[in-house]
Chain A
Amino acid sequence: MSALIGTRPAMAEAKSDAPPARRRHDRAWQRPGVLSAASVLLLLAAWQFVASRGWIPPLFLPPPGAVWDKFVRVASVGFMDATLWQHAAASLARVGLALVAALLVAIPVGLWMGLSARVRGILDPFIEFYRPVPPLAYLPLIVIWFGIGELSKVLLIALAIIAPVAIATTTGVRGTDVSRLRAAQSFGATRRQLLWHVVLPSAAPDILTGVRVGLGVGWSTLVAAELVAATRGLGFMVQSAAQFLNTDIVVLGILVIASIAFALELGLRALQRRLVPWEGKA
């Protein structure tokens, strides 16, 4: 601390006409990324400490080392007839399929709702009605209707994604800049051209935000979707492990589910920066 304070006068003497660069983050350890890494490492250390002291039995909290061993084991040998990668692939395939299906429904519906107050009036109550209901609550109904196959699982995840994407698309469409619409109209744009060349690109930043939210919700529906008659999947893996009190695999599953969600979110953010770099700037 004193060393840090000690550098201040030296810096003040050295300064010429250069502006004080990034005063807020000028100390390396204060950068947000560094702080995040530090807090994660601190938590891991506390976990290791508590587990090694035997304060909490491994049945409730296995030590980090045991979870790592399980990771290596499940990744190579497998658990419940499938390796970790096969479980992850099964889950990703379900969510991916659900995402595609949801986008095919949600974007046209959102467009339509954004363009017409009448359509909005008709569809809004349904979306707002099912959106806050937890997927676990309507899962039994979906199983009764569509059976215990893959369709029900994908449908459950898709339903979770549809609402946020449709709502975001509606918002984006309604926020289309009037001057841009008028400009295109004054160039003789047809209704179709307006939709394709002005409205849809205008709504793109909102749609992508909707996809980010939707994918997060869809991914978190995974465990519920894999409750029924699944033989593979990360959600299935966690539940099976819980039944055998394999706490280390439960913890491992949670960590893997969280890591994949984090990676997806980072990927989508990168996609957003690439596809709609003008967002918030124009």
Chain B
Amino acid sequence: MVRLDEIVAGYGEPGSSAAVLDGVSLQVPAGALLVLLGPSGCGKSSLLNVIAGFIPLRGGRARIDGRDIRGPGADRGVVFQDDALLPWLDAAGNVEFPLRLKGMPAAERRERAQHFLELVGLRDQPRHAVWELSGGMRQRVGIARALAADPQVLLMDEPFGALDALTRERMQELLLRIWATTGKTIVLVTHGVEEAVFLATDLVLLSPRPARIVERHVLDFGRRFAGGEAARAVKSQPDFIATREAVLAAVFASEPDLQAAIG
């Protein structure tokens, strides 16, 4: 379980810039698909980076299973918006990369990579150059790579933000299927309200900078999809629409400037 207590964090030297996060506390239950939702630049990615161990804390405590987070570690896998694949390796090579760092023998590595490529629906593209793949396929490789390292928690920083609308929906469905089959705890950052409501078991709404938790919802639309309902059917159910509109209203309300702009 990930547990954040009164987190204070920012970029650069303390005092040189205002904190991006100022006293945020959050718990991520095991097996949850927790979505951090907030307006652009609110600090939701920073919060994810704190869990990943990419940015040091100025105050507060960040723990995973009781251990303090002191830096990046193999217990937390990360999927980046810009995919962060290594272009000098092919698709399978990228998925094998974390295993190679651990010193796993080549044959075992290949087998594992193939398994995770199949899981993300890229069974037939193992030897493809990643820079020739489409954005959605690259993100699939990124997810397979993060899963291959077998992390406890999967951290996803706006993973579908750069994809077209159709691919985005496909990837949401893929993510829910992966979440249901692997049982991994996932923390996902997005600014898409519909995406957040559809995916989240725990939806955390953040205010503009410095980020604070405005609302927290426990939802089950993703579970309905994982249980066999069609994605569009779930998304057009009245309670989905009602929740989406309520969350959207809360996002607008949390941002006074935006509210003024739309009158």
Contacts and interface: CB of A to CB of B under 8 A. Distances in A.
Interface of A: 177, 179-180, 182-189, 193, 197-198, 201, 204, 276-278, 281-282
- Interface of chain A, main secondary structure: helix
A184 B94 CA distance: 11
A114 to B, nearest CB: 18
B87 A281 contact: yes
Contacts of A282: 85, 87, 130-131
A112 B101 CA distance: 22
Given A186-B72, A186-B73, A201 B98 contact: no
Contact of A177 (B52, B77, B84): B84
B205 interface: no
A26 B82 CA distance: 38
Contacts of B82: 177, 179
A277 B129 contact: yes
A-B interface, 6 closest residue pairs, ranked by CB to CB distance from nearest: A278-B87, A179-B84, A187-B98, A282-B131, A282-B87, A185-B72
Contact of B84 (A180, A193, A197, A281): A180
Given A204-B88, A281-B131, A184 B52 contact: no
A123 to B, nearest CB: 26
B97 interface: yes
B80 A179 contact: yes
11 contacts: A177-B84, A183-B84, A184-B101, A186-B72, A187-B102, A197-B101, A201-B88, A204-B88, A281-B87, A282-B87, A282-B131
Contact of B101 (A179, A180, A189, A281): A189
Given A198-B86, A201-B86, A188 B101 contact: yes
Nearest to A281: B131
B74 interface: yes
Interface residues of B, number: 28
Interface string B58-83: 00000000000001111011101011
Nearest to B155: A186
Nearest to B142: A183
A184 B86 CA distance: 10
A199 B149 CA distance: 21
Nearest to B78: A186
Given A186-B72, A186-B76, 10 more contacts: A180-B86, A182-B52, A182-B78, A183-B78, A184-B97, A187-B102, A187-B149, A201-B86, A278-B87, A282-B131
Nearest to A193: B101
Nearest to A200: B88
Interface in B186-223: none
Interface in B78-137: 78, 80, 82-88, 97-98, 100-102, 129-131
A74 to B, nearest CB: 45
Nearest to A187: B98
Given A204-B88, A281-B87, A282-B87, A182 B97 contact: no
Contact of A278 (B73, B88, B98, B145): B88
Contacts of B102: 187-188
